[in-house]
Every structure is written in C-alpha cells, then in structure tokens.
C-alpha cells in the first residue's frame, strides 16, 4: 500500500464518526507505515497487544478501515518488526532493569575471561612446556569468536533470542570446563575454541536484546551500561586470574567460570521473556480460525544458510590467520601465507555468489550495499584498531623505559579504562536527552586523536605520572564511539535487520582489535630492527631484544641506552599509525546520516 493511499485512508477516518480513541489508534497504526522518514521507536517487548475495531466502511479507500489496518500491520510486520512473540506483554521499567542486569552478568563474565587468559597465558603454557604456543590460547578464542559472530543474528531471528543466548552460555561454560580439565596444550586450545563460539553470542546478543527491550532513544543509555560491564570485566579478569594462578592454580579460574556461567543462564531462563522467532518470520494472514501455525524445527533447519555460514566463517578465519601469523611466525611472502591469502579471496568470492542466490542469506548482501552500515562498521573498526594498538604498547613502553614489572606496567592502562567507562556513560545520557548521535560519533575520533598526538610529542622515555594520564582521551573517545556508532547503525537499518547488522558490528569490532594489535606489532618490529641496524647493534642483540623485552635490562649500560632510544622511536611510529586510524574514523563519522530517533 502506497503512502498516498495511506493518506487518503487517514482523511477518510478523520471525517468519520468513529470514537476519538479509536480514530487516534487508527492514526497511530497508519503512521507507522512510513519508516523512510523516521525510524520507529516501537519496541517489540514493550508493545501492548490491542485490536482496533472499526465498524464503518469507507469506499474511498477501496476497503474497510479495519482492512486497511490489517494491511498496515502486515506491511509493518513483513518489513521492519524485529524478533518478538505475540504473547509477550510489556514489562514495566523496573523489570526491564532487572532483565538487562541479568544480561550484563554474561557480558562481564565473557570479558573477564579474555583478560584473565591474556594475563596468565605464559604461566598456563609453561606448565605444558609449550611457551612458544602461548599466543594460541588467545588467538584460538578470537578466531572462533569472529568466525561465529555473524551467525548469531540470523539464528536468533529463526530460533528466538532466548534459546540462542542459552546455547551461547552452554558453549562458553563447556569450553571453560574443557580448559579446566585439559591435560595437554591441544585440549586447552580446543576448550578456548568452544568458549569463543559461546563468547560471540554472549556479547552480541546482549546488545540485540536491548534493542528489542527498549525504544531506540533509550538504547543509548542502556547500551552504555554494557560498555561499563565489559570494561569492568576486562579490568578485574587479569588481577583476579593472576591471584588465583598464584594461590590455587590456573585451572580453578576456568572451573570458577563454569558455575558462574550456569548461574547467568538460569537467571536468563527465568527473567528473559521468550521472544520466540522473528515476527517477520511469523507472518500469517488471519484465516478466521484464530490460530497461528507453528513452524517445525525441521522447517527452521532448512532455512539456515549452512553453505553461506561455512564460507563466511572460512573467510574470516583465513583473514585473521594472516594477521596472526604474518610477520611473526611466518614471513609475509612465505608460501603458506600466500596460500592462506588465496583461500581468503576464493572463499569470500564463493560467499558473495552463494548469498546472492540464497533465499534467506546468513548475512544479507543488502546490508553491505547500505553506505550507513559500512560507515558504521569502519568507524568502529578503525577506532578500536587505533585504541588497541596503543594499549598493546603502553605496558611495553614502561617496561622498557622504566624497568616496570608486569603488574605495574599493566596498571598504567587503568586511566584509559576509566576514560572508556566515563565516555560510554556520558554519551548514553547525551543521546538519550538529545536524540543526536552523529556529533558524538565524529567527536570520538577527534578526542582519541588527542591522545596519540600527546604520546608522540611527550613520551620520549622520561614519562612522569601526569604524562601517563595522557591516554585518558583515547579511552574516552573509544567509549563515545562504542555507544554512538551502535545507535547510528541501528537507526540506519530496518528493525528486522538489526540483529544481523549488530552481529556484523561486533565482528568489525573484533577484527579491529586484532588488526590494531597485528599492525602495531608489525610496525614496531620492522622499525625497531631498522633503527637498531642503523646504530650498528650486533645482530645477536637485535634478535634477543625482539624476542624478549626483559633482555633489554640485561644489556650493558651503553647498549641499553641505545636500545631504549630505538624502542621509544619505534613506539612513536605506532602512535602515528593509531593517529591515522583515528582520522579515518572521524571521516567515516562525518558521512554518517543523522536520523531522527525521537
């Protein structure tokens, strides 16, 4: 039904003797047809069910007003309504708060796990005499998480948010248990892969559910709490994991996560309304029977694009393997890496072909044709790549220049963590009050760029405590971006596509973090080797200081000063890279379209 027809019907209703309340309800139903001009604030879990009874026909519309409203509802359901169940009643605000609090528990656990493994991977791998493979405890989790991240959006549309979230908890908890009982490094890596599959859903589905639970304008406020929970988890995971490792052993850190995950799953089971499958997947014309046929599990399985999912996972895994292995374990020009690169292009090409023909693609290509979606993805990827690159090298900088211990060097990241939390909270409040997200999205990169400029200009080896706080704007800007870009994305797509688009945004975020660390590491190693070579440092010394930072402190005083100076200059080059990435995030933000969200 065209917009012009809707306007004619509105005029007819206006001239009728229908009760004012009924006429207002009709207007409200008709108004929701046009989503091109304004993104709706209608929320599926908040929408009360109601029927509008119209008792008079209007020939000018070509149908009764009741028929018009049925058509409007059908159009709305088929095009923009997200996952919901017709049986859901509107939760009151206190209940919404308790539901989201339960969801945040899972987000905290998954983020704490990552920092725990990051802090204890050396101790864990050393127990199996496999220190050279310690990075795979982190890489395996990241690879599994990124490969499975895009799948959760579509699966939750088909099977419902609640069921898929509980499955994610199950994967994560089982993976932790496998790690706790692992008797070899290979078994540990397997456990991390299983946990990564679950962790992907635990992070992405929280934000997806928030868009289901509250109107879009409220999403920014509640989404900022997700950032706070995630940041808090990352902050406590490392120290807590280190303490447990030193006292009762690292296995109990994994064993401890399993019951916590079970608790979170039980709370979700009892607190979260059963959202069913997507309303866009449940369109049934009223056949007069008053019943809506239920889709069988077999029918749901046939709708999953398994081929597209496998090709997408293969593409992501191959791409991340290049980032993980290139320049460190394998030369970029090595034959194995070239083969992986070739497989990346081949699998991606096959994915595009498959998705263009699929009736229900696992990731619709139409999203990649939406400029606002691509801009949102790049803004988030670039912002996190810049931030993670900087945070990766802050502890290294203090270890080299001030002989700081691992714990003290890691503590220097705290100002950025605090900045991230404050930035997310303030941005949520700002968007909630003003409805504007473009200004924060643009300013995020500008604020973060201040950090990288200050580090280039002032961090030359003798850094005092005031200068160590210069990383605050970087964390603050990232917190702004995580909230504002999410709102920019969700306001640019139809509600039926929010789940899949959100999964893509989380994938872009994870790729950005991996990319930032990989690029920064490559720039550091390359520039440091060149600088040390120009200073006539022996090849043996160059190899030692590139492999182990503690070797710097073992050098003679004269050689140590030369190596430290080269390290400082090499780290400055990495901050230039972060600055460039932040500028590209600003450019992406400038092209975002400000839409009215209330």
pLDDT value of residue 402 = 84
pLDDT value of residue 395 = 83
Segment 529-547 mean pLDDT: 77
Query: Could you give the CA distance from residue 237 to residue 244 in angstroms, rounded to a whole number?
Result: 10
pLDDT at 306 over 60: yes
pLDDT at 361 over 50: yes
Q: Give percent above pLDDT 90 in the chain.
A: 21
| Mean per-residue pLDDT over the chain, rounded | 77
pLDDT value of residue 397 = 86
Segment 551-575 mean pLDDT: 84
Q: Residue 294: which pLDDT band, with cuts at 50, 70 and 90?
A: low
pLDDT value of residue 70 = 42
Indicate yes or no: pTM above 0.85: no
pLDDT value of residue 443 = 94
Report the 10 Å Cβ neighbour count for 596.
12
pLDDT at 92 over 90: no
- 3-class DSSP assignment, residue 54: coil
Query: Could you give the CA distance from residue 464 to residue 57 in angstroms, rounded to a whole number?
Result: 79
At which residue do the structure tokens 């060097």 appear?
Answer: 409
pLDDT value of residue 596 = 76
| pLDDT tens, residue by residue, 428-442 | 889 988 889 999 999
Q: Residue 547: which pLDDT band, with cuts at 50, 70 and 90?
A: low
| pLDDT tens, residue by residue, 410-465 | 778 888 888 988 998 899 889 988 889 999 999 999 999 999 999 999 998 888 88
pLDDT value of residue 555 = 76
Most confident among 36-40, 89-93, 272-276, 343-347 (mean pLDDT): 343-347
Q: Give percent above pLDDT 70 in the chain.
A: 78
- State the DSSP string of 301-343: HHTS-HHHHHHHHHHHHHHHHHHHHBTTTB-TTSHHHHHHHHH
Segment 330-354 mean pLDDT: 89
Lowest mean pLDDT segment, chosen from 4-8, 79-83, 222-226, 240-244 = 79-83
pLDDT at 251 over 80: yes
- 3-class DSSP assignment, residue 33: coil
pLDDT at 292 over 70: no
pLDDT value of residue 275 = 56
Query: Could you give the CA distance from residue 447 to residue 50 in angstroms, rounded to a whole number?
Result: 47
User: Which two structure tokens, joined as six digits, stand for 41?
Assistant: 């604030």
Q: Residue 93: which pLDDT band, with cuts at 50, 70 and 90?
A: low
Look at 394 and 89; give whichever has higher pLDDT: 394
pLDDT value of residue 246 = 75
- 3-class DSSP assignment, residue 88: coil
User: Which two structure tokens, joined as six digits, stand for 397?
Assistant: 């900088």
| pLDDT tens, residue by residue, 59-71 | 334 444 444 444 4
Query: Could you give the CA distance from residue 462 to residue 164 in angstroms, rounded to a whole number?
Result: 51
Segment 382-386 mean pLDDT: 93
pLDDT value of residue 285 = 36
Domain boundaries, the chain: 3-76, 91-278, 305-361, 365-598
Report the 10 Å Cβ neighbour count for 162.
21
CATH fold of the domain at 365-598: Growth Hormone; Chain: A; (1.20.1250)
The domains spanning 91-278 and 365-598 adopt the same CATH topology: yes
pLDDT value of residue 191 = 92
Determine contact, residues 390/452, Cβ cutoff 8 Å. yes
pLDDT value of residue 195 = 92
Segment 359-369 mean pLDDT: 83
**CB-based contacts of 315, cutoff 8 Å, min separation 6:** 344, 347, 348, 351
| pLDDT tens, residue by residue, 138-188 | 778 888 888 888 788 888 888 888 888 999 999 999 999 999 898 888 899
CATH number of 91-278: 1.20.1250.20
pLDDT value of residue 94 = 56
| pLDDT tens, residue by residue, 197-208 | 998 888 888 888
pLDDT at 380 over 60: yes
Determine contact, residues 450/473, Cβ cutoff 8 Å. yes
pLDDT at 31 over 70: no
Lowest mean pLDDT segment, chosen from 44-53, 320-329, 402-411, 558-567 = 44-53
Determine contact, residues 397/510, Cβ cutoff 8 Å. no
pLDDT value of residue 328 = 67
| pLDDT tens, residue by residue, 481-506 | 989 999 999 888 888 788 888 888 98
pLDDT value of residue 385 = 92
Query: Could you give the CA distance from residue 424 to residue 420 in angstroms, rounded to a whole number?
Result: 6
Query: Could you give the CA distance from residue 160 to residue 300 in angstroms, rounded to a whole number?
Result: 11
Segment 301-319 mean pLDDT: 83
Alpha helix ranges (H) inside 435-471: 438-458, 465-468
pLDDT value of residue 132 = 62
Q: Residue 37: which pLDDT band, with cuts at 50, 70 and 90?
A: very low
Look at 122 and 592; give whichever has higher pLDDT: 592
Segment 310-330 mean pLDDT: 82
């Amino acid at each position: 039904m065209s917009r012009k027809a809707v306007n004619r019907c509105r005029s007819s209703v206006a001239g009728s003797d229908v009760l004012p309340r009924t006429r207002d309800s009709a207007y409200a139903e008709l108004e929701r047809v046009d989503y091109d001009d304004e993104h709706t604030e209608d929320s599926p879990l908040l929408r009360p069910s109601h029927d509008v009874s119209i008792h008079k026909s209007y020939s000018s519309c070509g149908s009764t007003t009741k028929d018009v409203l049925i058509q409007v509802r059908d159009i709305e359901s088929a095009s923009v309504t997200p996952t919901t169940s017709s049986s859901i009643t509107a939760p009151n605000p206190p209940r919404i708060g308790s539901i989201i609090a339960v969801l945040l528990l899972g987000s905290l656990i998954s983020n704490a796990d990552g920092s725990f493994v990051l802090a204890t991977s050396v101790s864990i791998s050393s127990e199996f005499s496999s220190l050279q493979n310690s990075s795979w405890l982190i890489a395996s989790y990241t690879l599994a998480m990124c490969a499975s991240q895009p799948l959760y959006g579509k699966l939750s549309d088909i099977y419902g948010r609640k069921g898929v979230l509980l499955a994610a908890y199950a994967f994560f908890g089982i993976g932790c248990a496998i790690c706790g009982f692992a008797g070899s490094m290979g078994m540990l890596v397997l456990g991390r892969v299983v946990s990564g599959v679950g962790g992907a859903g635990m992070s992405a589905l929280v934000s997806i559910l928030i868009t289901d639970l509250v109107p879009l304008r409220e999403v920014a406020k509640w989404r900022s709490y997700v950032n706070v929970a995630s940041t808090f988890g990352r902050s406590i995971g490392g120290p807590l994991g280190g303490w447990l490792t030193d006292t009762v052993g690292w296995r109990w850190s994994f064993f401890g996560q399993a019951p916590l995950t079970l608790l979170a799953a039980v709370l979700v089971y009892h607190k979260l309304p059963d959202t069913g499958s997507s309303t866009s997947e449940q369109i049934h014309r009223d056949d007069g029977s008053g019943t809506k046929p239920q889709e069988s599990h077999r029918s749901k399985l046939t709708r999953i694009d398994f081929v597209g999912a496998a090709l997408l996972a293969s593409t992501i895994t191959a791409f991340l393997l290049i980032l993980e292995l290139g320049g460190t374990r394998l030369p970029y020009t090595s034959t194995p890496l070239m083969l992986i690169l070739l497989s990346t292009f081949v699998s991606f090409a096959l994915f595009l072909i498959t998705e263009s023909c699929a009736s229900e693609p696992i990731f619709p290509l139409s999203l990649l044709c939406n400029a606002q979606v691509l801009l949102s993805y790049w803004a988030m990827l670039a912002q996190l790549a810049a931030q993670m690159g900087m945070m990766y090298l802050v502890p290294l900088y203090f270890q080299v220049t001030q002989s700081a211990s691992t714990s003290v060097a890691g503590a220097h990241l705290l100002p950025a963590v605090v900045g991230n939390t404050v930035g997310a909270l303030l941005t949520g409040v700002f968007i909630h009050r003003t409805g504007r997200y473009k200004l924060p999205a643009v300013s995020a990169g500008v604020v973060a760029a201040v950090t990288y400029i200050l580090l280039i200009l002032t961090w030359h080896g003798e850094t005092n405590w005031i200068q160590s706080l210069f990383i605050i704007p970087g964390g603050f800007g990232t917190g702004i971006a995580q909230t504002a870009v999410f709102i920019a994305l969700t306001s640019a797509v139809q509600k039926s596509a929010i789940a899949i688009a959100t999964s893509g945004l989380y994938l872009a975020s994870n790729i950005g973090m991996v990319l930032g660390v990989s690029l920064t590491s490559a720039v550091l190693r390359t520039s440091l080797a060149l600088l040390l070579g120009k200073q006539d440092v022996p090849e043996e010394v160059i190899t030692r200081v590139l492999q182990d930072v503690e070797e710097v402190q073992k050098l003679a005083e004269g050689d140590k000063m030369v190596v430290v100076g080269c390290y400082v200059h090499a780290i400055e080059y990495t901050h230039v890279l972060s600055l460039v990435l932040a500028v590209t995030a600003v450019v992406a933000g400038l092209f975002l379209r400000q839409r009215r969200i209330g």
